[in-house]
Amino acid sequence: MIRAAIAHGSGRKLLLYENPCAVEAAFGPDEVLPVLSRVEAAVENHGLHAVGMVSYEAAAAMDSALPWRDPGPWPLVWFGLFAPRCREVLCPEPEGLTLPVWTPELGPGAYGRAIDRIREFLAAGETYQVNMTYRLRAPFAGDPWSLFCHLFLYQPSPHAVYLETEHWAVCSASPELFFRRVGGSLISRPMKGTAPRGRFREEDALQAAALRESTKERAENVMVVDMVRHDLGRVCLPASVRVPRLWCVERYPTVWQMTSLVWGRTDAGLPQVFQALFPAASITGAPKVRTAQIIQEIEPSARRVYTGALGWVRPGRRAHFNVAIRTVLVDRLRSEAEYGVGGGIVWDSAAPSEWRETLLKARVLGPRPPAFGLVETMRATPWGVPLWPWHRKRLAESAQYFGFRVPWSTLEEECTQHCRGLAHPAVLRLELWPDGRRHWSIRPLPRPVRPYRLVFAEHAVDERDPRVCHKTTVRRHLDAERSRASALGAHDAILVNRQGQVTETTIASILVLFQGQWITPPRSSGLVPGVLRQRLLARAVVREATLTPETLCCAQRVLLVNAVRGAWPAVVVHEGGPGG
């Protein structure tokens, strides 16, 4: 069966095409432009929808100065021509998918030597930037549709494309727009510049700001923008090319990306647009022709669909193509999957950091974090929630970080109604899910316990996981530590991160009186910002400082605080750290 799917609107929506009326494919450079012409004619003259791809090696057909590399039996161009009937579907959760185990074709050493060779070309003035890439490969005999759904749900993208034939499949969750044509308008959105996400709002904002202000990343981005302006100028009407947006920083699940927008007017056909723009400037370098020659010399294998283009063509001179990054190629005959990664190399690029960036771009291949909700546990009275402004602020920040939808007016009305139904103060718990669904529950306030005994948790907290910095439904590990504490005759467990820093307990923030000052662990250690903790920090009653188990055990006093119980004293009855 031959089928294709493209992203549609926002969220999980896809348009699914099946059983094409015809297929157009090119396997040699001389066939590339004629195939693109036939595809456009079929769309405009017969009202068909085309979904397909143009491989990176097709570049030699666009410009005879660009080098040719044989991709083997892989098509240079492939399009399915479908009747305009298609189904709108919600991307399903992948079933029975075993994620591939990937092996890079280059190790850090070989990658570093390639960077050294590129620096020689840079020093000689032959290039200003080279997009160096390599492939990861893995045995894979599973269902490629399930693999695509995994990628798309991990990193939803309006440019996602899925292609499937009897012999191969392509799963693309690319975040980068190559070009969009709507009538006479031609838009390109080059992406160059990457930074990892922070774990919470303040850290995330710092990461975004660092990327936005990075001289290196800005220089690389504007270099690509200049190339795209030049490329659009070859096919757009004179003096029509503009750059409406420069150096925009966009948020994705695992990274920040820097993009810019280039626009122009054109009356050119699809083959001419590809001749002018392909391959994308962001995945070659500057100048394009010489850099493409350097890429061919340095890279160990053909790119095939990776860094090519995937997209669709519809009647009315409408077309939409991505740059084929974050894209898996599945060879169904060899039961093998391939995924390309890379980055732009300039003179001040450092091989270790560039290598880490390529691995960051492969994180989408790993296990998708399980679905979870955000939680607020509040002390409620018949007259409302006393600390509601602080709960609302924390919930809003976490919802913004994870991209949750919050129907604030409905949520606040529900909270008020639950409070009005109370006869006495109680614990009101809210679970908020990504689509805005809410679950409320009420339970009695816990009775005070004196003395309140603490032991150290058995397992260290991974402070690198963003979820530990937000109050969520992911609590199995916390419940297990609290159960263990109970078995040891204690009431709660003190959490410690992988660096040996105290963070919090399973239900409360920790305050200690040390050398005459009240201190609490900083959020950078990996902890939930308890609302009462945040209120005390805002009033300068306490200050943040890194806290070790030794400091905790030597403290003059230990207090626990949370929104439900307020503040209460605690004692440490088992010294040490995780595991002992």
Q: Which of 24, 40, 164, 176 is catalytic?
A: 176
Instruction: List the Cα angle 309/315/317 in 5-degree steps.
Output: 65
Say how far apart CA 438 and CA 406 lie, in whole Å. Answer: 9
Q: Is 192 assigned a catalytic role?
A: yes
Confirm if 69 and 296 have CB atoms less than 8 A apart: yes
Confirm if 204 and 197 have CB atoms less than 8 A apart: yes
Measured CA to CA in angstroms, residue 507 lies from 17, 357, 405, 493 at distances of 50, 36, 26, 9
Element (H, E) at 210: helix 201-213
- Give 110's contacts (C-beta < 8 A, 6+ positions apart): none
Nearest-Å Rg of the Cα atoms of the chain is: 28
Say how far apart CA 498 and CA 111 lie, in whole Å. Answer: 30
Q: Is 338 assigned a catalytic role?
A: no
3-state helix/strand/coil string of 85-143:
CCEEEECCCCCCCCCCCCEECCCHHHHHHHHHHHHHHHHCCCCCEEEEEEEEEEECCCC
Tokens 């980055």 appear where? 343
Pick from 561, 555, 552: nearest CA to 501: 552
Helix axis angle for 201-213 and 388-402, nearest 10°, is 40
Pick from 516, 487, 519: nearest CA to 501: 519
Phi, psi values for residue 37, rounded to 5°: -65, -45
DSSP sequence for 273-284: HHHHHPSPGGGS
Residue 501 tokens read as 């820093």
Confirm if 108 and 355 have CB atoms less than 8 A apart: yes
* Bridge partners of residue 129, in order along the sequence: 286
Q: Please give the torsion angle defined by the CA atoms of residues 121, 123, 127 and 130, in that order, rounded to the nearest 10 degrees.
A: 70
Q: Which of 192, 288, 361, 471 is catalytic?
A: 192
Helical ranges in 427-498 per DSSP H: 476-487
Confirm if 384 and 419 have CB atoms less than 8 A apart: yes
Phi, psi values for residue 27, rounded to 5°: -115, -10
Active site members: 176, 192
